[in-house]
Each structure stands twice: as structure tokens, then as C-alpha cells.
Amino acid sequence: MSEVVLSIRDLEKTYPGGVQAVRGVSFDVHQGESVAIIGSSGSGKSTVLRCINRLIEPTGGVIELGGTQINTPRANVNEIRSRIGMVFQSFELFAHLKVLENVTLGLRHVRGMSKSEADKVAMEVLERVDLLERVDAYPGNLSGGQKQRVAIARALAMKPEVILFDEPTSALDPELIGSVLKTIRGLADEGLTMIIVTHEINFARDVADRIVYLDKGLVAEEGPSSIINNPKTERMQRFLASMNEEH
């Protein structure tokens, strides 16, 4: 097996007020692998994801990126984040910037590229997400699917070691989901390392190399994508059954 890019050991997060959202989660992500985290609402999926790029400070456990622990107070959090891309459920595009500027912002102000260099990189990634014709539009004038693809391009442009997807299709109308899923699937095929928190069970099965099923802040079941067809634990069976009812 290829080398481990991201390693999570005994991750814990207790929110102020005492809610234990994550209670000892461990898993590894290998180079070129895509991992889907599934689970019901409140199972700690998003918390795990946000702990990885330290938008949330974990209260316990170790997170290693490329073999180095990144959840120490001394670690340079901005440098770490620039190595981990993130795509949000509600896109979070910068409304006052055009599509191209959304993508180049990090390149210019974090990577320190000149405008022309950054534009060049941005055009490349926008081509990958098939949005070349909308580079001069403001986010407010894009459809939901286009917005999410811009957000993906924004994360991709930084050439991250791993990209985190936080329910990338949950805020989209059903007919727009397809284009985003296609884009993500394309990236997975290109061998990008990614972690996807998703409710799209079928998509998780198709795209992910591995499934991590979280329940009540713990890893309840973990394995290749085939486990979706044959869940071992009763909990995951019930969860999958409820998801199928919905669709």
C-alpha cells in the first residue's frame, strides 16, 4: 500500500458545555486514496473534518500530515491549512470577488504568486472543473453547481496534499448535484487524496476507496466501499436502510 498522507489517532473533541462530539476516532488516509465518512446527523462527521484543518481545535488525539503532528499549539496553522484544501457545504465563495479572483486569492496572498502566475494556475484548475467561460462572473450570478465547482477550483489551485469535502452536494438542487459529483469523481480518478463527508451513499460507494462509518463520535465500521453493500454492524444497516428510504 502507498504511503500514509494523513493519520488520525484517538481524535477527541468536547465542545464547551460538555458535548462530546468525537470520542476517539482513528483512521489513515493513503496517498491517492479517497475516503468517505458517512453517518447520521450529529455523529461527528463534520467535527472530524474541521479538526483536520484545525478550524476546530481537537481536545485530544494526534493528527499527522505527511508524518508531522499538526495539532500542536506551536504548529503554523496557516501553513498547514494551505496544504489541506476544504470545500464547504454552502460553498462560501467570496461574494465580492469574481470567479477568477476567488481562485487566485490564496495563490497571491498565501503562495505569494504574481497576478499573471496566479491567473495561469487558476485558469488551469477552472478548466478542470469546466468553468472557463464564467471566470469574470460574480458568485452571485452562478448556479449552485457552478458555485461548488468554483469552490473546488479554489481548493485545487493551492495544490493541497489532501482535500476535505464537507457535504459538497447537500445544499444543491437535485438536478445540479450531478455536475459536482462528476467533477469530484474526475478528481478521484486523477488520483487526488480526498476525504468526503457525504450523505450520497451511492456516490460514496462509487467514488470512495474506503468508507468510514461514524456513529455517536466513534468509528462504528470501516472498510472498502463494498461494505455499503454488506454492512456488518446492525447500526450501519439501520443507517443505510434509513438513507434508502429517503431516496
Q: Where do contacts with another protein occur on this chain (CB under 8 A)?
A: 53, 55, 72-74, 78-79, 81-86, 88, 90, 92-96, 105-106, 109-110, 138-141, 151, 154-155, 158
Residue 178 CB, shortest distance to another protein, in Å, is 23
Q: Of 150 and 177, which has the nearer Cβ to another protein? A: 150
Least separation in angstroms between residue 109's CB and another protein is: 6
When the beta carbons of 58 and 106 are compared against another protein, the nearer one is 106
Q: Considering the complex, what minimum distance in angstroms separates the CB of residue 81 from another protein? A: 5
Instruction: Give pairs for 50-55: CB < 8 Å, separation 24+.
Output: 50/166, 51/11, 51/13, 51/22, 52/6, 52/8, 52/84, 52/162, 52/164, 52/195, 53/80, 53/81, 53/84, 53/86, 53/164, 54/80, 54/81, 55/86
Q: Does the CA dihedral 63-64-69-73 come out positive or negative? A: negative
Q: Give the residue with the Cβ less far from another protein, 93 or 236.
A: 93
Q: Which is nearer to another protein, 105 or 240 (CB)?
A: 105
Distance of closest approach, residue 94 Cβ to another protein, in angstroms: 5
Q: Which is nearer to another protein, 15 or 94 (CB)?
A: 94
CB of 156 to another protein, least distance (A): 11
CA distance from start to end of the chain:
35
**Which residue type occupies 190?**
E
The residues near 122 (Cβ < 8 Å, ≥ 6 apart) are 100, 103, 104, 107, 135, 153, 157
